[in-house]
Structure 1
Amino acid sequence: MAESLAYSKWVCKYHIVFTPKYKRKMIYDELREDIEDIKEIIKDLCKWKGIKIIEGHMMSDHVHLLLSISPKYSISSVMGYLKGKSVMMIFERHANLRYKYGRRNFWSTGYYVSTVGINELTVAKYIREQEKQDQIMDKISLKEYENPFKGRAR
């Protein structure tokens, strides 16, 4: 279903996978037992940015997310936000890990992202509806071409 901003309709869905650093998988496995905590962190971060989580799953060594992200955000800025803020919140909630492992990066630097498109029928319907909408707007704006200072014929 299409979302909308002031003057646009959009469907921007992304399948994202990211992993902890090789040396941090041990921490991830420890935290995975308290999986609800990490899920809550990711849900909160997405809610604060207006990002909808369509689907999500935490595997033994990586995180899968299907997100609906507004086109006003780039995918790289969203990933920087999610990975950066989530590790800060993880270490805040589990302070012993910060002292045990230091303030080094928790997530690996890369991530996988793939767009999830819509089907051809939806695009065709949008194009048809957009043409009708333009025709309606042209009829409404026709009045602006009439000269308001033109007097009546006497």
Structure 2
Amino acid sequence: KHLGEVFRRLASQKESRILEGHLMPDHVHMLISIPPKYAVSQVIGYIKGKSAIHLARVYGEKKQSFVGQHFWARGYFVSTVGRDETMIREYIRHQEQEDQRVEQMNLWQ
């Protein structure tokens, strides 16, 4: 919950809204509404950068400097959403169960 609130606050600072989100152990799925005046890369870069700083401050070693360390991978995947918004929301909500199902299938191969 805490990190979700951080993402929402950061998105709002770029006049954007996180409509749906799900945190996974090694990645995040988010449906974000971004106004046309902002480039997608600008908003995503802002959220990634500021959230990494927040996580380093809250959970990192206090005696350690986090300069030069990376929390997020360099890239990200973006797709526009139109008529299929409902499907995208369902995908995000059920991503954890889907990942577990695929993992189980891979055990038998």
Normalised by the length of structure 2, the TM-score is 0.67
Q: Gaps (5+ residues) in structure 1? A: 1-35, 120-154
Q: Gaps (5+ residues) in structure 2? A: 85-109
1:117 corresponds to which letter in structure 2? G
Instruction: Choose 1 or 2 for highest CA Rg.
Output: 1
**Identical residues among aligned pairs (%):** 42
**2:27 matches 1:62:** yes
**2:85 matches 1:117:** no
Contact 2:56 2:66 in 1 (8 A): no
Q: Which residue of 2 aligns with 1:94?
A: 59
Normalised by the length of structure 1, the TM-score is 0.49
User: For the residues of structure 2 that align with 1:94 and 1:79, how far apart are their CA atoms?
Assistant: 22
Aligned-pair distance for 1:71?
0.3
What RMSD over aligned residues (CA atoms) do the two structures have, in Å?
2.0
User: For the residues of structure 2 that align with 1:112 and 1:73, how far apart are their CA atoms?
Assistant: 17
Q: Which residue of 2 aligns with 1:73?
A: 38
1:58 corresponds to which letter in structure 2? L
Bigger mean CA offset, 66-75 vs 51-60:
51-60
1:81 corresponds to which letter in structure 2? Y
User: For the residues of structure 1 that align with 2:70 and 2:33, how far apart are their CA atoms?
Assistant: 26
* Cα 1:59/1:98, change in 2 over 3 Å: farther
Q: Give 1 or 2: higher strand fraction.
A: 1
Q: Which residue of 2 aligns with 1:85?
A: 50
User: Larger relative CO (CA 8 A, sep 6+): 1 or 2?
Assistant: 1
Task: Output one character per residue of 1:96-138: Cα deviation in whole Å (capped at 9) or x when no partner.
Answer: 2772x8431110000000000248xxxxxxxxxxxxxxxxxxx
Give the 4+ runs in structure 1 shifted more than 6 A: none
User: For the residues of structure 1 that align with 2:62 and 2:74, how far apart are their CA atoms?
Assistant: 20
